[in-house]
């Protein structure tokens, strides 16, 4: 990571969202950064910035950094494998045995080093990441991610039931105690990574544990990440486990862990959320992490993302490694568009497919809002940017910046990423 001058400019073909429906594309423009924040995008460099350092990228595409709202770092070791199973069987036969291996710090370092290096090279600039239930391994993951320069929330998983003999905390007390130990260990240690409270999902967390996590959340003012309404069997299971609730989201909300002003929350999937659940999520300001690739791989279904956008819910994209098989947020954008077309054609023809503009917004500005003023090149937003070099992709005629961006998204070729900036710092 290189700390850039306080004020500098990048020159190229600049594309960014201003809202879900509009994508601004400037064929030749200057993007100005000052003290880690975006000043603006200009067709000509304003007089007050004449003489500042300017890197000319020869018409490469310059787009905002992308924000992955949901992925599992320990699962990266088996991404692209074991895709013939549905969620619950996949967890029990593949995921839990793999995550149990992270009690071995030598293995954890080997696996997490690969993950951190590959994520650094990807389109992702900020992410919300699940670790495992192991305190030492989670701290190791945070150490490695800190070095990448990427911004991330990282969570030590909590699970005191329905795991496996090798992957389950002994009790709610042990889980909560380990979580507090982890939070105290890392206090004030990092610049780029922050903790996020991470109950795996309701089937893995007893009521006692959820109650203790609620106390921790309030004491430490932590955000929360978990899973919600991903799979029909999972939803039926939650109904059995939480007979006092009328829908899945209430299993979190009864403990104050489903959003609110003091509890920013990401819920992954929300494929089968009921009207009541959606209404509660909107009221609580929950961010939905739409994970189209994993929902396809694990045969979960297709989330009604069009509805979420139109009803004004917060929504971004997640790769959901390793239910998803690709770290590429470019691929996540294409996947989101494609599955929305299938939902429109096969499930609900009243819900139009996503446009390129809408899916790009979700990957950048939509998901970025969880991290603050992130995900666009408007004045005052954090300066997160990607340089995309498509010069090796031959074409018989000139293309507009929008056409070039669409092509790169559908080709999902992260090798085109030749530069990355986060909060004004050059990552590579």
Q: pLDDT class for 1, splitting at 50, 70, 90?
A: confident
User: Each residue of 138-172: pLDDT tens digit?
Assistant: 999 999 999 999 999 999 999 999 999 999 999 99
Spatial separation of the C-alpha atoms in residues 319 and 289, rounded to whole Å: 9
- Cα-Cα end-to-end distance for the chain: 7
Assess whether pLDDT exceeds 80 at residue 2. no
Query: What pLDDT was estimated at residue 423?
Result: 98
Query: What pLDDT was estimated at residue 346?
Result: 97
pTM of the full structure: 0.97
Architecture of the domain delimited by 66-371: Alpha-Beta Barrel (3.20)
* H-helix segments, 161-206: 172-186
Percent of the chain, pLDDT > 90?
A: 98
Spatial separation of the C-alpha atoms in residues 154 and 291, rounded to whole Å: 18
Query: What pLDDT was estimated at residue 255?
Result: 98
Spatial separation of the C-alpha atoms in residues 50 and 57, rounded to whole Å: 18
Q: Are the C-beta atoms of 30 and 44 separated by less than 8 Å?
A: yes
Return all residues near 47 (Cβ < 8 A) that are at least 6 apart.
Answer: none
Spatial separation of the C-alpha atoms in residues 318 and 127, rounded to whole Å: 9
Query: What pLDDT was estimated at residue 3?
Result: 75
Specify the length of the chain in residues. Answer: 428
Across the chain, mean pLDDT equals: 97
Q: Can you list the positions of beta strands (E) in 131-276?
A: 151-155, 157-158, 193-195, 198-199, 224-228, 265-269
Q: pLDDT class for 75, splitting at 50, 70, 90?
A: very high
Which among 386, 278, 108, 294 has a CA at the least distance from the CA of 267?
Answer: 278
User: Each residue of 395-421: pLDDT tens digit?
Assistant: 999 999 999 999 999 998 899 999 999
Q: Are the C-beta atoms of 5 and 52 separated by less than 8 Å?
A: yes
User: Each residue of 359-388: pLDDT tens digit?
Assistant: 999 999 999 999 999 999 999 999 999 999
- Which has the higher per-residue pLDDT, 412 or 85? 85
Query: What pLDDT was estimated at residue 171?
Result: 98
- Positive/negative CA dihedral, 123, 127, 133, 136: positive
Query: Which residue do the tokens 């499930």 mark?
Result: 347
Query: Which residue do the tokens 């700390």 mark?
Result: 3
Q: pLDDT class for 106, splitting at 50, 70, 90?
A: very high
| Whole-number Cα distances in Å, 5 to 1, 387, 424 | 13, 18, 9
Task: Write the CATH number of the domain with boundaries 7-65+375-426.
Answer: 2.30.40.10
User: Each residue of 214-246: pLDDT tens digit?
Assistant: 999 999 999 999 999 999 999 999 999 999 999
Spatial separation of the C-alpha atoms in residues 266 and 161, rounded to whole Å: 22
Query: What pLDDT was estimated at residue 205?
Result: 98
Query: What pLDDT was estimated at residue 34?
Result: 97
Q: For the residues 333-345, what does the mean pLDDT come to?
A: 98
CB burial of residue 25 (10 Å; 0-12, 13-18, 19+): middle
Query: Which residue do the tokens 């109950």 mark?
Result: 199
Q: pLDDT class for 292, splitting at 50, 70, 90?
A: very high
Spatial separation of the C-alpha atoms in residues 66 and 124, rounded to whole Å: 5
Q: For the residues 70-83, what does the mean pLDDT come to?
A: 97
| Whole-number Cα distances in Å, 151 to 42, 154, 232, 342 | 27, 10, 33, 34
Give the 3-state secondary structure of 70-109. EEEHHHHHHCCCCCCCCHHHHHHHHHHHHHHHHHCHHHHH
Q: For the residues 37-64, what does the mean pLDDT come to?
A: 96
157-158/124-130 β-pairing: unpaired
Cis status, amide bond into 322, omega within 30 of 0: yes
User: Each residue of 260-287: pLDDT tens digit?
Assistant: 999 999 999 999 999 999 999 999 999 9
Where do the domains of the chain lie?
7-65+375-426, 66-371
């Amino acid at each position: 990571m290189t700390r850039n001058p306080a004020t500098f400019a990048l020159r190229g073909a600049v594309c960014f969202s201003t809202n879900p429906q509009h994508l601004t594309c400037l064929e030749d423009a200057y993007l100005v950064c000052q003290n880690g924040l975006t000043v603006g995008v200009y067709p000509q460099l304003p007089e007050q910035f004449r003489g500042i350092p300017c890197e000319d990228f020869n018409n490469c595409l310059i787009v905002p950094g992308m924000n992955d709202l949901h992925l599992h770092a320990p699962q990266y070791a088996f991404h692209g494998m074991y895709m013939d199973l549905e969620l619950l069987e996949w967890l029990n036969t593949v995921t839990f045995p793999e995550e149990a291996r992270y009690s071995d710090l030598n293995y954890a370092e080997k696996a997490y080093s690969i993950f951190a290096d590959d994520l650094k090279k990807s389109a992702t600039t900020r992410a919300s990441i699940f670790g495992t239930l192991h305190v030492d391994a989670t701290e190791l993951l945070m150490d490695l991610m800190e070095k990448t320069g990427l911004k991330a929330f990282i969570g030590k998983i909590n699970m005191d039931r329905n795991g496996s003999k090798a992957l389950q905390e002994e009790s709610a007390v042990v889980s909560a105690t380990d979580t507090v130990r982890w939070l105290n260990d890392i206090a004030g240690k990092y610049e780029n990574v922050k903790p996020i409270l991470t109950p795996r999902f309701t089937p893995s967390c007893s009521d006692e544990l959820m109650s203790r996590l609620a106390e921790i959340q309030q004491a430490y003012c932590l955000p929360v990440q978990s899973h919600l309404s991903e799979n029909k069997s999972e939803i039926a299971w939650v109904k059995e486990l939480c007979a006092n609730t009328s829908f899945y989201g209430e299993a979190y909300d009864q403990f104050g862990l489903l959003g609110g002003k003091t509890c920013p929350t990401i819920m992954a999937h929300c494929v089968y959320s009921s009207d009541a659940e959606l209404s509660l999520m909107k009221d609580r300001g929950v961010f939905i992490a739409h994970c189209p690739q994993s929902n396809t791989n694990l045969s979960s279904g297709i989330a009604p993302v069009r509805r979420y956008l139109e009803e004004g819910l917060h929504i971004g994209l997640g790769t959901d490694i390793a239910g998803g098989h690709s770290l590429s947020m470019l691929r996540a954008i294409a996947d989101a568009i494609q599955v929305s077309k299938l939902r429109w054609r096969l499930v609900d023809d009243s819900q139009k497919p996503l446009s390129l503009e809408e899916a790009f917004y979700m990957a950048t500005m939509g998901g970025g809002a969880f991290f603050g003023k992130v995900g666009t090149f408007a004045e005052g937003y954090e300066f997160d940017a990607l340089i995309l070099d498509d010069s090796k992709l031959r074409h018989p005629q000139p293309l507009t910046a929008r056409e070039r961006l669409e092509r790169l998204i559908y080709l999902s070729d992260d090798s085109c990423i030749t530069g990355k900036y986060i909060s004004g710092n050059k990552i590579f």
